[in-house]
Chains A and B, each alone.
Chain A
Amino acid sequence: MSVSNLLENWSQFRHFHPVDDKPHDPYKWAMSIDIDACSGCNACSVACYAENNIPVVGKERFQHGQQMHWMRIERYWPDHDFDFPEQGAEFLPMMCQQCEAAPCETVCPVGATNHTADGLNSQIYNRCIGSRYCSANCPFKVRYFNWYDYPTDETVWPAEMNRQLNPDVSVRGKGVMEKCTFCVQRLRAAEVTAKGEGRIVREGEVQTACQQACPTSAISFGNLVDPESRVHKQWQAQQVEMNVDEQEKDKEPGGSHLRGYRILEELRPYPSVMYLERVRESAI
């Protein structure tokens, strides 16, 4: 990109959705997670390790908070005092929310994290210099830094174990940031196939690893601009809009009966992941 190109295309290079004159077309990958269905079993997280070559850091590094799980299951207890958690715990799968106005993107000094045309928040390992500003600025703290050089660490992928590595995903060396990619390698493969056939990716044609594993099918993933997709239908049914920081339904006095919400929406990152509230029986 030459200077003139840079100047001409600056607005596109730094193109932020949501803007009304640039709707997503034909893809906007999005997710919805029903935390009422989520049982907290961690199958998604393990699937993510398997799919995305995530290093197992070991006890000592985990103790220092250097774990790399792109997808973590958070377990919440009620805020008030209680003797016993009589309504169980709340489990929340948390990974990169692929924000539309991602706080991480603006601050990266080298532009290693960008927005893609299909609504993903990309992370380019080979461009990253490791300033960690993106992580500093991430409200969800879902970006994970390679504190050590895991590919050369004998405890992480010893001989044979390294044969499990997925060749479609780069193995990250020390000093770069990484995070959930919505399994971009699968998305791109599906997009390329669809392109070759002159169509767009169909609903159900591509799954993320977590969605595929989830035993309770709590995770739906798909193309938000495809009216046929389950994700589109869910977002619509829950009246969750991408481009707002407070949903209409949340302004209703007394609350609405809808369950869809996005986490830390008020900070205006416009996350691409909608959560559905947990439900508990009122009769017991």
Chain B
Amino acid sequence: MKDIREDIAWAKINRDVLVSLENPRKLYWVIVFGALSLFSVGLGCEIYQYQVGMGVANLNNPNVWGLYIATFIFWIGMSHSGTLLSAILHLMHADWRKPIYRFAEAMTTFSLMTAGLFVMVHIGRLWQFYYALPYPNDRGTWPNFQSPLLWDAMAIFTYLSSSVLFLYVGMIPDLAICRDNLHKGWRKKLYTLLALGWEGTDRQWRNFRVTYLTIACFLIPLAVSVHSIVASDFAMSQQPGWHVTSFPPYFVAGALYSGCAAIITLFIILRYVFRFEDYMTKSILKKTVRLTFAIAMVWTYLNAVEFAAVWYGHDMDAKAVLIQKATGPFAPFWWGMVFCGSVVPLMLAFKRFQTNIPVLFAVSLLLNLGMWLERWMIVAPTFSHGYYPWVWDNDQWPSLIQWGMVMGSFGWFTLLFMVFCKVFPSVSMYEVKEMVYHRSLHLKKNETAGQGAH
């Protein structure tokens, strides 16, 4: 099985990819419509909450964070796999990433934007959020640079802007192709503008590669730091259950994990709706699945490390939280997390499932569900079972407003993503061409070697 056919003509690549900008399958519209409705629900919930007060979310004194923060971490985590595929694998010269890194990178950007929304949704006085920004003002006040939340805001903002830049820079040659192949309408103007006069000269290519590499190098530590900082939102606080040393890597592993799972999901969807069967091949899928499996096992290991550290540690309050997770009112969700996060991925170890698209689709959704539950299980049980037993609360079921906004965020993300794929080439044309070229060179080399011409 090959990652890609070596005999695809470059013109066919252009044609196939450009067609995705115009004529997707019907399912595309169904998805867009579904996403739009979900998003409207979320938006309605937010408007209601904004006007009436945070109370409608059914948060309360110990349970101050709820699903918003859990989902925030989920989306931040989701963003990591884009960076993994595009930057890390780029540096490692894994060329099978080429047909799929573009949409993964887009996923990074959009999930970060979604995560940012949750910060907004979560704060009590949305209209004053700018107090958290460090800017000179006539009050002479500054935000508190000691607060992990501020680091968080800065890390996310930097990561987002870098990701957008990375996505954009990587797209310039393709935008030029779009520019050259489309001849009318606003799109033409858009592509002309964004292509920055790309002509494909040697000088341009040289500068392009240096820039791209630089941003990639810059992005990797950033990605790791972002989720480590999100982990320190918890680890730097005083509540029981968030103090295991492996918390940051645990968060990063979880992030990559959920991201990979999401890539599988979107891979399958895009492959179908845009008819990308030639580029998003089963072979690439298989590689992705194997990568996911590896990360799942790393995550499982780190999870086990966390439980063990708590179980054998001296922090009795943290242990109480762990016991509460496993036996208390959150038990179904916690065990659900263990099942979806550690048991379900075992299926990916079997070769026959590694290319079975329906199974993979279902599994990837389950993995994401598991990872979402993981985030919820980090946030909620600690709050409902903290240091102070008087306020322990096991009756904290998020209100429909919270659920509505969580659903809305999926709608928002899908909407952005789908619109992106329709407007911009979601498969990197020039890199696929490179890939085909390299493969064919390789093939030729092998052929000549086989013939023993030397």
A residues near B (Cβ < 8 Å) are: 1-3, 6, 14, 61, 64-67, 72, 74, 94, 103, 106-111, 127-133, 135-137, 139-141, 143-149, 174-177, 264, 267, 269
Contact = CB atoms under 8 A, between A and B. Distances in A.
Given A131-B122, A149-B52, A269-B238, 15 more contacts: A64-B58, A65-B393, A65-B396, A103-B237, A103-B238, A107-B147, A110-B143, A130-B54, A131-B132, A133-B233, A139-B386, A145-B59, A147-B54, A174-B125, A176-B124
A232 to B, nearest CB: 28
Contacts of A136: 64-65, 237, 239, 383
Contacts of A146: 53, 124
B140 interface: yes
A139 B124 contact: no
A74 B146 contact: no
B53 A148 contact: yes
A175 B53 contact: yes
A139 B238 contact: yes
A128 B149 CA distance: 14
A131 B153 CA distance: 12
Given A1-B141, A145-B54, A149-B53, A130 B65 contact: no
A115 B55 CA distance: 28
Contacts, number: 148
A145 B238 contact: no
Nearest to B137: A1
B48 interface: no
The 8 lowest CB-CB distance pairs between A and B, nearest first, are: A130-B124, A175-B124, A147-B55, A65-B60, A111-B144, A148-B53, A175-B125, A109-B149
Contacts of B126: 175
Interface of B: 52-55, 58-65, 122-126, 128-129, 131-132, 136, 140-144, 146-150, 153, 233, 236-239, 383, 386-388, 390-391, 393, 395-396
A98 B226 CA distance: 33
A267 B315 CA distance: 11
B388 A140 contact: yes
B50 to A, nearest CB: 9
Contacts of A6: 142
A74 B388 CA distance: 11
Q: Looking at A107, A108, A140, which has the most chain B CB atoms within 10 Å of its CB?
A: A107
Contacts of A2: 136, 140
A128 B141 CA distance: 13
28 contacts: A1-B140, A14-B144, A64-B55, A65-B62, A65-B393, A103-B237, A107-B144, A107-B147, A109-B132, A109-B143, A110-B144, A127-B131, A127-B141, A128-B125, A129-B125, A130-B123, A131-B123, A135-B64, A139-B386, A145-B59, A145-B61, A148-B53, A174-B124, A175-B54, A175-B124, A264-B388, A267-B387, A269-B238
A119 B317 CA distance: 29
B64 A145 contact: yes
Contacts of A65: 60-63, 391, 393, 395-396
B147 A109 contact: yes
A137 B149 contact: no
Nearest to B153: A109
A174 B59 CA distance: 14
A77 B139 CA distance: 50
Contacts of B125: 128-130, 174-176
Contact of A109 (B61, B144, B237): B144
Nearest to A132: B64
Contacts of A140: 387-388
Contacts of B146: 14, 106-107
Contact of A141 (B53, B61, B143, B149): B61
Q: Looking at A64, A74, A175, A177, which has the most chain B CB atoms within 10 Å of its CB?
A: A64
Contacts of A145: 54, 59, 61, 64, 124
Given A66-B61, A132-B65, A145-B61, A267 B141 contact: no
A148 B50 CA distance: 10
Contacts of B128: 129
B390 A94 contact: yes
Contacts of B387: 139-140, 264, 267
A144 B61 contact: yes
A61 B124 contact: no
B228 to A, nearest CB: 17
A212 B148 CA distance: 39
B124 A129 contact: yes
Given A65-B396, A107-B237, A264-B387, A129 B61 contact: no
B142 A1 contact: yes
A64 B62 CA distance: 11
Given A6-B142, A129-B124, A131-B149, A148 B61 contact: no
Nearest to B59: A147
B60 A133 contact: no
A71 to B, nearest CB: 13
Nearest to A264: B387
A111 to B, nearest CB: 4
A64 B60 contact: yes
Nearest to A268: B238
Nearest to A6: B142
B24 to A, nearest CB: 41
A103 B64 CA distance: 16
A121 to B, nearest CB: 14
A111 B143 contact: yes
Contacts of A264: 387-388
Nearest to A140: B388
A6 B137 CA distance: 13
Contacts of B132: 109-110, 129, 131
Contact of A175 (B123, B143, B388): B123
A177 B59 CA distance: 13
A67 to B, nearest CB: 8
B454 to A, nearest CB: 67
Contacts of B129: 129
Nearest to B57: A147
A273 to B, nearest CB: 14
Contacts of B58: 64
Contacts of B64: 132, 135-136, 145
A141 B239 contact: no
A97 to B, nearest CB: 11
A83 to B, nearest CB: 22
A175 B49 CA distance: 11
A145 B239 CA distance: 18
A148 B124 contact: no
Nearest to B60: A65
